[in-house]
């Protein structure tokens, strides 16, 4: 959520320009929700790779038996996407509700 809030703040002028040339609030909302979704997906893929690698490493070094199921990967990935969209909605809505004139004046 912090990353998305910073992104909205840094791109306030861009949002104002897009709105002044005809972008609707729905377009801005969609843009930032897609950005939040893509960030979540990339983080999820990196997390899965690190988790599987770490599990294999611990299994080999400590000689512990570890099991990774497809269900656990899909469940965590699905939850990650839901959390990403949930916490991306507030910054996206904040961006969509900006007044174009105020956004253009923003420094």
Q: What is the pLDDT of residues 5-62, one digit of tens each?
A: 888 889 899 999 999 999 999 999 999 999 999 999 999 999 999 999 999 999 999 9
Helical packing angle, 2-10 and 70-96, nearest 10°: 30
21 phi, psi to nearest 5 deg: -100, 10
* Residue 81 lies in domain: 2-105
To the nearest 10°, report the CA torsion of 16, 21, 23, 28. -20
pTM, 2 dp: 0.82
CA distance 98 to 81: 26
Q: Is-contact 29 92, C-beta < 8 A?
A: yes
Are the beta carbons of 33 and 92 closer than 8 angstroms?
yes
Q: How many domains does the chain have?
A: 1
How many angstroms separate the CA atoms of 31 and 51, rounded?
30
């Amino acid at each position: 959520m912090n990353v998305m809030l910073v992104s909205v703040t840094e791109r306030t002028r861009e949002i104002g320009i897009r709105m002044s040339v005809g972008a609707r609030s729905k377009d801005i909302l969609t843009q930032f929700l897609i950005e939040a979704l893509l960030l979540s997906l990339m983080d999820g893929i990196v997390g899965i790779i690190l988790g599987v690698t770490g599990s294999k490493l611990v299994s080999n070094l400590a000689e512990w038996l570890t099991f990774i199921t497809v269900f656990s990967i899909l469940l965590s990935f699905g939850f990650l996407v839901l959390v990403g969209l949930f916490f991306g909605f507030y910054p996206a809505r904040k961006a969509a509700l900006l007044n174009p004139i105020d956004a253009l004046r923003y420094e």
